[in-house]
Structure 1
Amino acid sequence: MAMDAILKNLSARCALGELDKRRADLWFVTVDPAHVRPALAHLRDNEGFTHLVLLTAVDWMEEGRFQLTYLLHNRAAALDVGLRCFIDRETATMESIHDMWATAATYQRELKEMFGIDFPGSPGVDDEFILEGWAEIPPYRRDFDTLAYAEATYTNRPGRASEDPEEYMQRKLYPEGA
């Protein structure tokens, strides 16, 4: 089945926002957060998108929101579709889909720890996952100051030079301009 027909079937069930065709076999669709679960269920149960490839987030700090992207794969049709939604950065809560795909619980734990996005009811979502004993703001949030954290946490070792990454990469990539 062509992606156009799949998206037409999906749009009959929920309002679709921006459509972004990256390739013939890869589309991204923006939906309202309230429609994510029904859209995912429709794609899984009716359109053959049975594999949750990933669940990831982007911090749009200036806009005060997070983008969640659910990437699904249909093996039989060799198609991928990404469902995107935007949630408020301050409340940072989204409905869990761990009961739809067991692997989602792992993605959701990671997003809770690294971005501070909560998925109420997801198994282990409040347990430490990667950052044992972490007391700072979530490190993947764009307002987390990596340099300040490193300077406060780690000591400089004698004989080790530290360079500004931007200047270093400029010299490495464009040595004639340095």
Structure 2
Amino acid sequence: MMRDLHALLTPRHALGPLEIRRENLAFVTLPASNLRGFLTELRDTQGFSHLVLLTAVDWLEEGQFQLTYMMNNRARDLTLGVRVMLDRTTAQMDSIHDLWPTAATYQRELKEMFGITFPGSPRLDEEFILEGWTDLPPYRRDFDSLAYSQQTYAERPGRVTHDPREYMKSKLYPGG
């Protein structure tokens, strides 16, 4: 099923190789400029009516973000992960909130946590999760969480931990 779909849509959308993970789950990568047309065709002609998830991965060493749009065709029980790569320095992608209104929420999260912008997406610049946040987006791999916590929070002593085996021995067999 997925192979047939891939063969049908590759000429129009310049799809990369099909990566089949299970019979009903596959991934494909395509140029970011082809995403909107591809998603529209999946929705309108191929029955992929449900946007399950929109997420990102920071490929710091390659200077790219990977966006993955998980699309589902409920009637056929098929899920297709659609990946696009973005330049990390510009970090901008077309909004799809007009195709799936739920995408606006995912896009707000990706803006706040990765710094990826989606021009035209509603409420994109309003605080969402990180109220009052002024630092580098925290899901970027170059965000230093240790340095941030040391600068932001006062040092306090940690709790004492015990080796579980020795601790239980001392409790069960005191003095022995």
Tell me the TM-score normalised to structure 2 length: 0.88
Amino acid at match of 2:149: A
Contact 2:6 2:18 in 1 (8 A): no
Please say if 1:131 is aligned against 2:130.
Answer: yes
Post-superposition offset of 1:12: 3.1
Amino acid at match of 1:144: F
Contact 1:10 1:43 in 2 (8 A): no
Please say if 1:70 is aligned against 2:82.
Answer: no
Please give the residue correspondences for 1:14-163 in structure 2 after superposition, counting only pairs within 5 Å. 14-158=13-157, 160-161=158-159
Tell me the TM-score normalised to structure 1 length: 0.88
3-state DSSP class of the match of 2:98? coil
Post-superposition offset of 1:7: 1.4
Partner of 1:5: 4
3-state DSSP class of the match of 1:40? helix
Amino acid at match of 2:126: D
Post-superposition offset of 1:11: 1.2
Count of aligned residue pairs for this structure pair: 163
Structure 1 residue ranges, 4+ long, deviating more than 4 angstroms after superposition = none
In structure 2, C-alpha distance between the alignment counterparts of 1:117 and 1:32, rounded to whole Å = 17
Contact 1:108 1:125 in 2 (8 A): yes
Contact 2:3 2:18 in 1 (8 A): no
3-state DSSP class of the match of 1:87? strand
Alignment gaps of 5+ in structure 1:
164-170, 173-178
Q: Could you tell me the percent identity over the aligned residues? A: 60
Post-superposition offset of 1:19: 1.9
Post-superposition offset of 1:32: 0.2
Post-superposition offset of 1:161: 4.4
Partner of 1:167: none
Post-superposition offset of 1:57: 0.2
In structure 1, C-alpha distance between the alignment counterparts of 2:18 and 2:65, rounded to whole Å = 18
Alignment gaps of 5+ in structure 2:
165-176
Structure with the greater alpha carbon radius of gyration: 2
In the TM superposition, what whole-angstrom CA distance separates every residue of 1:66-105 from its partner, at most 9, and x where no partner exists? 0000000000000000100100000000000000000000
Contact 1:105 1:122 in 2 (8 A): yes
3-state DSSP class of the match of 1:94? coil
Post-superposition offset of 1:18: 2.9
Post-superposition offset of 1:4: 1.7
**CA spacing shift, 1:35–1:27, aligned 2, 3 Å:** same
In the TM superposition, what whole-angstrom CA distance separates every residue of 1:21-48 from its partner, at most 9, and x where no partner exists? 1011001000000011111011111110
Post-superposition offset of 1:20: 0.8
